[in-house]
């Protein structure tokens, strides 16, 4: 069993936990309280800025063959994924200039940037966000919400190009040949941060 296959196996229960979370369930139904999604948008905007920094830190350590891949992911995060947030911010009244990280965002980004100081550990630490959101998008795409704003969110992470990017990153992780136990530890901690990130003051 390859390392990514093993990570997927241990990560699926935490994907299921996210799908059952009230915030994700509300997106799926299309009836999530606007205040909850506004909070998530503002926090995820702050998260993605540091997510791009983590990829940039990994790129600095990368073998020549993957330098362009990692710089490309950082660029895509800042110019494509964040475009979704910018396009939705006005519809939800989100303030993307806020600097105020909530507890979940602060804990996740601090841990992620520390993990990225080591190439192999960092590759495993950032994988939960990309793989997890792709899994959520694909799962929710089977019954897309009628609400167009939430439908757009689902479509972004179910997009075939995002799936291909996730698969390409998984191959990069395989090629790095991380220590399996360390990779599992960093991956699982990242997945737990992903679950906690869905908590907002407006969902219970």
CA gap 202, 35 in Å, rounded = 7
- Look at the alpha carbons of 113, 116, 121, 126 in this order and tell me if their dihedral is positive or negative: positive
CB contact at 8 A, 46 and 101:
yes
CA 50 to each of CA 11, 54, 57, 144: distance values in angstroms, whole numbers, following the listed order: 22, 6, 10, 29
CA 57 to chain centre: 17
**Can you give the pLDDT at residue 81?**
87
**Can you give the pLDDT at residue 204?**
64
134: which 2 tokens? 């792709």
**Can you give the pLDDT at residue 191?**
98
CA 204 to each of CA 82, 155, 190, 192: distance values in angstroms, whole numbers, following the listed order: 26, 25, 22, 17
Phi, psi of 203 (to 5 degrees): -130, 155
Please tell me the pTM assigned to this model.
0.95
**pLDDT in 10s for each residue of the chain, 204 residues:** 799 999 999 999 999 999 999 999 999 999 999 999 999 999 999 999 999 999 999 999 999 999 999 999 999 899 888 988 999 999 999 999 989 999 999 999 999 999 999 999 999 999 999 999 999 999 999 999 999 999 999 999 999 999 999 999 999 999 999 999 999 999 999 999 999 999 999 976
């Amino acid at each position: 069993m390859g390392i990514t296959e093993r990570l997927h196996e241990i990560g699926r229960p935490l994907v299921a936990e996210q799908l059952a979370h009230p915030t994700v369930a509300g997106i799926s139904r299309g009836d999530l309280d606007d205040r909850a999604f506004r909070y998530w948008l503002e926090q995820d905007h702050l998260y993605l800025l540091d997510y791009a920094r983590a990829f940039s830190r990994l790129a600095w350590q990368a073998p020549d063959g993957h330098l362009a891949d990692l710089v490309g992911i950082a660029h895509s995060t800042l110019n494509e994924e964040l475009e979704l947030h910018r396009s939705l911010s006005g519809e939800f009244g989100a303030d993307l200039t806020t600097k105020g990280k909530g507890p979940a965002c602060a804990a996740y980004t601090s841990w992620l940037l520390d993990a990225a100081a080591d190439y192999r550990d960092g590759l495993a630490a950032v994988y939960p966000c990309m793989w997890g959101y792709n899994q959520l998008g694909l799962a929710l795409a089977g019954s897309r919400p009628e609400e167009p704003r939430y439908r757009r969110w689902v479509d972004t992470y179910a997009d075939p190009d995002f799936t291909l990017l996730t698969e390409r990153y998984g191959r990069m992780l395989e090629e790095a040949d991380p220590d399996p136990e360390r990779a599992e530890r960093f991956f699982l901690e990242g997945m737990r941060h992903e679950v906690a990130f869905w908590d907002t003051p407006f969902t219970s």
